[in-house]
Amino acid sequence: MATKHAREPDREFKSAPSAIETLPALAKERGIEQQLWDVFTNSLYPGAAVESIVAVHSYCKARGLDPFKRPVHIVPMEVTDSKTGRKQWRDVIMPGIGELRVTAMRTGEYFGIDEPVHGEEITHLGIKAPAWSRVTVYRRIHGERVAFTHTERFVEAVATKKGGSQPTWIWKRRPVGQLDKCAEAGALRKAFPDELGDTYSAEEMHGKVIEGEVLERTETMPPAEAEPQYPESRTATVGAKVKAAAAAVAGEPEAELEPEPAPASSTGPSLAEIESMIAEAKTADDLDTALSFVNDIQGDGAFRHKKRLNELLVVRRREIAG
């Protein structure tokens, strides 16, 4: 006799709203499509403010990052106005440790990292953790492997809840991992100061207070196609590209652009030859030779070409390493 199962109560499912209803006007202005917005709001950043998600998209677009890999985080932070002493909670867009690693790798000079070294175990705010974590990262400078070390102390790094008597949930859950990330971020800043500057990771700033002037939130963000301000040597080229893109959208014939002057190496091969060297490289030494020519690139557009070639170097180095 077949067993009769109790019928599961009917569940009420609401049909998905139309794209016009769910895609905010600000997101549409910034060129975000409905499918991407759904991933942002349902998976990557559920519950976040519209302005914050749009800011994440703009950050990733400007940096050439894949937003699906969550290279940046929306961090609620208490901002203190230095003039009035008034405190407000604001969403701050901050890069994660992964974004710092990507920036280092893109230089083509990142040369590895040692396992973290820990100090003696202590108990602080009810958590047992190493007193400190020390991380060393390496960068290739003029062919030499140079070490950059940073030590992060637990009592200084741990983020606390309001009042400072208890750590935040993430520090309770994985205190060693958080401490190691903070130490790695500090080491990366030391090794790549020009690329990272004073950029702190979300792992370091979680639960912290920002001291400074509170800026009033504006209702809208700057226009999506606002032309960035570059030095005069690049303004003409950028302006021409923007006009050409606008003409293409409007269905007008694309205006011919004057080719940018190719950056020239004072004593080395052309860009095309460097690319061939990278593609045909068989060993790490071959790539090091190509890297030396990349570093010698000069002239207009040198930074852009160096960045592209360094990315090719990183990919080829991984292929050779297997």
What is the rounded CA–CA span in Å between residue 22 and residue 24? 6
Number of Cβ atoms within 10 Å of the Cβ of 213:
11
Domain membership of residue 9 (yes or no) is: no
pLDDT category at 163 given cuts 50, 70, 90 is confident
**Per-residue tokens: 201:** 């990771």
Q: What is the pLDDT of residue 219?
A: 31
Q: Is 74 helix (H, G, I), strand (E, B) or coil?
A: strand
Q: Are residues 40 and 86 in the same domain?
A: no
CB 150 within 8 A of CB 134: yes
What is the rounded CA–CA span in Å between residue 149 and residue 198? 16
Q: Are residues 147 and 30 in the same domain?
A: no
What is the rounded CA–CA span in Å between residue 83 and residue 87? 11
What is the rounded CA–CA span in Å between residue 66 and residue 41? 16
Q: Are residues 193 and 208 in the same domain?
A: yes
More confident residue, 124 or 93: 124
Q: What angle do CA 81, 85, 87 make, to 5 degrees?
A: 65
CB 256 within 8 A of CB 291: no
pLDDT category at 5 given cuts 50, 70, 90 is very low
Q: Distance of CA 265 to CAs 287, 295, 298, 299, 304, Å? A: 17, 9, 6, 8, 14
Domain stops at, among 212, 227, 247: 212
Q: Are residues 78 and 124 in the same domain?
A: yes
Q: Are residues 183 and 87 in the same domain?
A: yes
Number of domains in the chain: 3
Q: Which of 15-24, 72-81, 198-207 has the highest mean pLDDT?
A: 72-81
The mean pLDDT of 265-271, rounded to a whole number, is 59
Q: Are residues 158 and 287 in the same domain?
A: no
E strands, 82-187, in order: 87-95, 110-113, 117-118, 121-124, 127-130, 132-141, 144-153
Q: What is the pLDDT of residue 124?
A: 95
208 pLDDT above the threshold of 90: no
Number of Cβ atoms within 10 Å of the Cβ of 159:
18
Domain membership of residue 310 (yes or no) is: yes
Q: Are residues 311 and 179 in the same domain?
A: no
pLDDT category at 300 given cuts 50, 70, 90 is low
Domain membership of residue 220 (yes or no) is: no
Domain membership of residue 43 (yes or no) is: yes
pLDDT category at 210 given cuts 50, 70, 90 is low
25 pLDDT above the threshold of 50: yes
Domain membership of residue 251 (yes or no) is: no
Q: Are residues 85 and 164 in the same domain?
A: yes
Estimate to the nearest angstrom the gap between the alpha carbon of 242 and the chain centroid: 25
Q: Are residues 64 and 187 in the same domain?
A: no
What is the rounded CA–CA span in Å between residue 54 and residue 67? 11
Domain stops at, among 41, 70, 99: 70
Beta bridge partners of 145: 140
Domain membership of residue 186 (yes or no) is: yes
- What is the value of pTM for the model shown? 0.55
Q: Are residues 26 and 82 in the same domain?
A: no
More confident residue, 58 or 81: 58
**Per-residue tokens: 82:** 């230095």
CB 293 within 8 A of CB 305: no
Domain stops at, among 55, 70, 85: 70
Supply the mean pLDDT for the chain: 75
**Per-residue tokens: 40:** 């942002």
Greatest pairwise CA separation for the chain in angstroms: 89
Q: Are residues 84 and 175 in the same domain?
A: yes
Q: Distance of CA 226 to CAs 177, 250, 256, 322, Å? A: 41, 18, 22, 43
CB 278 within 8 A of CB 313: yes
What is the rounded CA–CA span in Å between residue 16 and residue 19? 9
The mean pLDDT of 83-105, rounded to a whole number, is 86
**Interaxial angle between packed helices 302-321 and 284-295, expressed in degrees from 0 to 180 and rounded to the nearest 10:** 170
Instruction: State which residues form the domain around 288.
Output: 264-321
Domain membership of residue 237 (yes or no) is: no
The mean pLDDT of 159-171, rounded to a whole number, is 83
**Per-residue tokens: 32:** 């975000």
Domain membership of residue 248 (yes or no) is: no
Q: Are residues 168 and 99 in the same domain?
A: yes
pLDDT category at 18 given cuts 50, 70, 90 is very low
